[in-house]
Amino acid sequence: MSVDLLIIGGGPAGMAAAIQAARLGLQATIVERDRLGGQANAAPWIENYPGFPEGITGKELMSIFERQLKRWPVKVVYDEAKDIVSYEAKSVLLAVGLTPKLAGVPGEIPYGDPDRIDHSGKDVLVIGGGDSAFDLAWGFAKKARRVTIGMRGETPRALPKLVTRAASSGVQLKTNWSPLDNSYDVVISCVGKQAKHPLFEKMEKASNLFLAGDICHVEDRHVAIAAGDGIAAAQSAYRFLNLPQRRKGAEKYKAI
């Protein structure tokens, strides 16, 4: 059966879209290859999502999203979408986020949820100099024996607040770090994201395809933006499905 809105990706953008779509009376299905919450599950502490004045861990925030999602008749299918054409849907929302880049250092792993990376009592190197690197290093410092940030330049690009917080939890900073210096138990790459998701590359313009979340904001990756995008995309899908005269405004991509 053809659903009204097929949402690929169950991160904050996909879950927010599904809640809004269901509220609008659309039949929505989420296809998620891993777990609901996406990258936000890796965020050690989120202090810029409105409504949580003291801040909240990414995992807790995502479990609240999931609780809210479960109140609505949204189907969640655990599967990796390889393309879009194999699904029957009247409209599709791509909310797949972005794939982490690798630094090209032997043995490195892409950044992710600290709880899924065995780092307890270990010597950890986080490669990168941005917000996520300092945020994650701080997260790893709770259980690791030692955490070092290796960055290529001299000046961190991260928020000063995140740099200070990492330093005060014992994280060491190596500026002008060389890839030859990788004698660590765990090496985690945190050097940004690939500008496009492979699914996105297989698409061309179509009026029933919408985008939301990090995939639209390579530079500004935030949960609130992703959630807001998801809601806006569900509204656009609703208008596309119910108000043909307004179809012109919809974002336009299609699988090829």
Ligand X SMILES: Cc1cc2nc3c(=O)[nH]c(=O)nc-3n(C[C@H](O)[C@H](O)[C@H](O)COP(=O)(O)OP(=O)(O)OC[C@H]3O[C@@H](n4cnc5c(N)ncnc54)[C@H](O)[C@@H]3O)c2cc1C
Residue window 131-150: x/- pattern of binding to ligand X, with contact defined by CB under 6 A? -x--xx--------------
Decide if 130 contacts 106 (C-beta within 8 A). Answer: no
Decide if 129 contacts 152 (C-beta within 8 A). Answer: yes
Binding region for ligand X (CB under 6 A) out of 21-29, 64-72, 221-229, 246-254: 221-229
Q: 111-132 burial, b if ≥16 CB within 10 A, otherwise e?
A: bbbbeebebeebebbbbbbbbb
d(CA 217, CA 103): 21
> Which residue stretches of the chain are H helix?
12-23, 58-70, 131-140, 160-168, 198-201, 223-242
> Is residue 66 involved in binding ligand X (CB under 6 A)?
no
Shortest Cβ 84–ligand X spacing (Å): 10
d(CA 48, CA 116): 24
If we measure between CA atoms, which residue out of 41, 4, 8, 12 comes closest to residue 217?
12
Pairing of strands 123-127, 146-150: parallel
Q: Which member of 3, 8, 19, 117 binds ligand X (CB under 6 A)?
A: 8
Cβ nearer to ligand X, comparing 12 with 150: 12
Residue window 69-98: x/- pattern of binding to ligand X, with contact defined by CB under 6 A? -----------xx-------------xxx-
> Is residue 14 involved in binding ligand X (CB under 6 A)?
yes
Cβ nearer to ligand X, comparing 34 with 123: 34
Q: Which member of 3, 19, 31, 117 binds ligand X (CB under 6 A)?
A: 31
Q: Which member of 226, 234, 237, 241 binds ligand X (CB under 6 A)?
A: 226
Shortest Cβ 9–ligand X spacing (Å): 3
Residue window 190-219: x/- pattern of binding to ligand X, with contact defined by CB under 6 A? ---------x-------------xx-----
Q: How many residues bind ligand X (CB under 6 A)?
A: 35
Shortest Cβ 56–ligand X spacing (Å): 10
What is the torsional sign of CA 148, 151, 152, 156? negative
Please report where in the chains the tokens 């701080």 appear, as a residue. 138
Please report where in the chains the tokens 């590359």 appear, as a residue. 201
User: What are the residues binding ligand X (CB under 6 A)?
Assistant: 8-14, 31-34, 38-40, 42-43, 46, 48-49, 80-81, 95-97, 132, 135-136, 199, 213-214, 221-224, 226
